[in-house]
Structure 1
């Protein structure tokens, strides 16, 4: 049996005062962490085993701070002394993505779906502002702040894990010029909030008609725009332009409860963060899909490239080489998912 699992079973049996009847490994996603559902007569829990102690420590510490800020996150029942595993609340199987799946497939969301999505994006403002209070940023993994290093890592992720793997010939000087300009724009925005880092529909769970938030172990102090871009431009959601605008407006209304917002400046900054997030996502899809061959990520590449083209066009002449790449990549038949090809 998996190393560490017996320690988690023992912790479960102490917490729930019952024997574990079954241990079921959950499907892997985009990380190397391993998750199991432990079930007994008195309840169930999710066991996590992660090779990075600092990442595990970050999740447990951040979860505690968010819960203290009245934000719905899973309760951590047990954290091992060696920091390689922990036991957390079982939030069930229904993510926000599952709840609105019909809309994802068609691009047409019902009134109930739209209400749920708006509720989620309004809660983001609460997470970002309340979650930043009393946070010990030093626990964040792999770093505590959104800064030029993070920007460079994510842009190079796109360059080396997507562009290079694609085999597309690139002008590295022109690409770096656009990267430098984008970095300058991003660093001009204040970084003073809780940045979830991967705020998207698969990291929101529904339990007893309440929203719960998971997978925040990569959180850090950063600008508010990044998480909004992550949610609004999630590749597989296929939001219409009109509904994207509606989500953004809903978010800004919620954010204004915590701080004044200059809408004109915010929208300009938001486009830069949207471009940055899209490039980072394509880097992840390249690594997990083109390199590791994971089907879910391969299927998402086409939608992410469509987003890249839309965003780069919206920015006009600001990033000419990225826009040129977007035009070329969206016409490349290799990135239209074909099961036989992959």
Structure 2
């Protein structure tokens, strides 16, 4: 409450003699919270509270300036010392809310194609040497969240010798292929919860952890989402649409679509392992349980992808030993 009061006071100092209504807007999986201030004339801003002892807003400011080729919120005021920001308000309708409100697949396709157009623009604006690299060291560290948190804490197990061998074979197979992909700016959480429905083009949020890495990462984040799921044929159609748009725009995607789709699926395996570990960590370490129920979706993604490719057979065998080979129940499947 003290930080919220301080944030309101800070905003009032930037907008003197202007009264505003104040309401909680959202919270992230980390320590950030957002509030919406609506002024008497109807204008509104979104205020971010990022406790400086927990995190810095400097990466957000840096990436916001880099991502000027897409629709990110303008920064109206910022105070790095206090961890406060006032941001352009992109509205209250996320892509997730819009998609869940209207279950018709043609509507979903239209919205997702708009998001893909925005992603292509982001990737076209990429420059090497500006953001840190999304390299094998980072990817391996992320994947290690799976045994450290999902297996150890969620399942209460540890790898035996055979399972450790299967895990190592998985790492040795995935990492060289993933790091060989063309490199672009990677948002790293380009999901429907972080896209806003606006009158013009999709608004893009939560980009402060961006890196420079594999071209398929953000596409798989969008189409193999944590909170909403589509049939394989629908996803395949959208991957083809992205591939065609990317090639037409001059991005260095693989000219062989089958090879590109393998890259897409293998990139998804890396992300799904990471997110299953993150969601387990949020529950067991941080006491945040709202993401825990989505872990089965990622286990389903992992099993489907790993059993399609002979090279990923060690991962499939490991998953079957850990959680079985039956599909697990999830919500919002279309």
Question: Residue by residue, what CA displacement relative to the aligned partner does 1:201-252 show, whole Å, maximum 9, x if unpaired?
Answer: 0000012253100000000111211111111111332211111011101111
Per-residue deviation, 1:124: 0.9
1:294 paired with 2:282, answer: no
Q: Match for residue 128 of structure 1?
A: 123
Per-residue deviation, 1:336: 5.6
1:189 to 181, 190, 194: 181
CA RMSD after TM alignment: 2.7
1:175 paired with 2:175, answer: no
Q: Does structure 1 conserve the Cα–Cα contact (< 8 Å) formed by 2:186 and 2:210?
A: yes
Rounded Cα–Cα distance in structure 2 between residues aligned with 1:264 and 1:79: 46
TM-score calculated relative to the size of structure 1: 0.84
Rounded Cα–Cα distance in structure 2 between residues aligned with 1:23 and 1:198: 28
Question: Residue by residue, what CA displacement relative to the aligned partner does 1:53-83 show, whole Å, maximum 9, x if unpaired?
Answer: 874111112112222x3x1110100111526
Question: Residue by residue, what CA displacement relative to the aligned partner does 1:129-187 show, whole Å, maximum 9, x if unpaired?
Answer: 22x24x872xx5xxx11112211211111121111111234222331231222112212
Rounded Cα–Cα distance in structure 2 between residues aligned with 1:297 and 1:7: 28
Q: Does structure 2 conserve the Cα–Cα contact (< 8 Å) formed by 1:9 and 1:38?
A: no
1:150 to 138, 143, 146: 138
Per-residue deviation, 1:18: 4.7
Structure 1 unaligned residues grouped into runs of 5+: 338-342
Q: Match for residue 48 of structure 1?
A: 48
1:321 paired with 2:314, answer: yes
Per-residue deviation, 1:114: 1.6
Q: Match for residue 63 of structure 2?
A: 62
Q: Match for residue 84 of structure 1?
A: 83
| Cα gap change, 1:239 to 1:153, in 2 (>3 Å) | same
Q: Does structure 1 conserve the Cα–Cα contact (< 8 Å) formed by 2:147 and 2:277?
A: yes
1:312 to 294, 306, 314: 306
TM-score calculated relative to the size of structure 2: 0.86
Rounded Cα–Cα distance in structure 2 between residues aligned with 1:211 and 1:18: 33
Per-residue deviation, 1:264: 3.5
Per-residue deviation, 1:293: 4.5
Q: Which secondary structure does the structure 2 equivalent of 1:3 belong to?
A: helix
1:258 paired with 2:250, answer: yes
1:109 paired with 2:104, answer: yes
Mean Cα deviation higher: 55-64 or 260-269: 260-269
Per-residue deviation, 1:5: 5.1
Q: Does structure 2 conserve the Cα–Cα contact (< 8 Å) formed by 1:126 and 1:255?
A: no
Q: Which secondary structure does the structure 1 equivalent of 2:58 belong to?
A: helix
Q: Match for residue 114 of structure 2?
A: 119
Q: Does structure 1 conserve the Cα–Cα contact (< 8 Å) formed by 2:51 and 2:82?
A: no
Q: Match for residue 36 of structure 2?
A: 37
Q: Does structure 2 conserve the Cα–Cα contact (< 8 Å) formed by 1:76 and 1:87?
A: yes
Rounded Cα–Cα distance in structure 2 between residues aligned with 1:7 and 1:121: 35
Question: Residue by residue, what CA displacement relative to the aligned partner does 1:250-281 show, whole Å, maximum 9, x if unpaired?
Answer: 11122121325412332222222011111111
Structure 2 unaligned residues grouped into runs of 5+: none
| Cα gap change, 1:281 to 1:87, in 2 (>3 Å) | same
Q: Does structure 2 conserve the Cα–Cα contact (< 8 Å) formed by 1:196 and 1:220?
A: yes
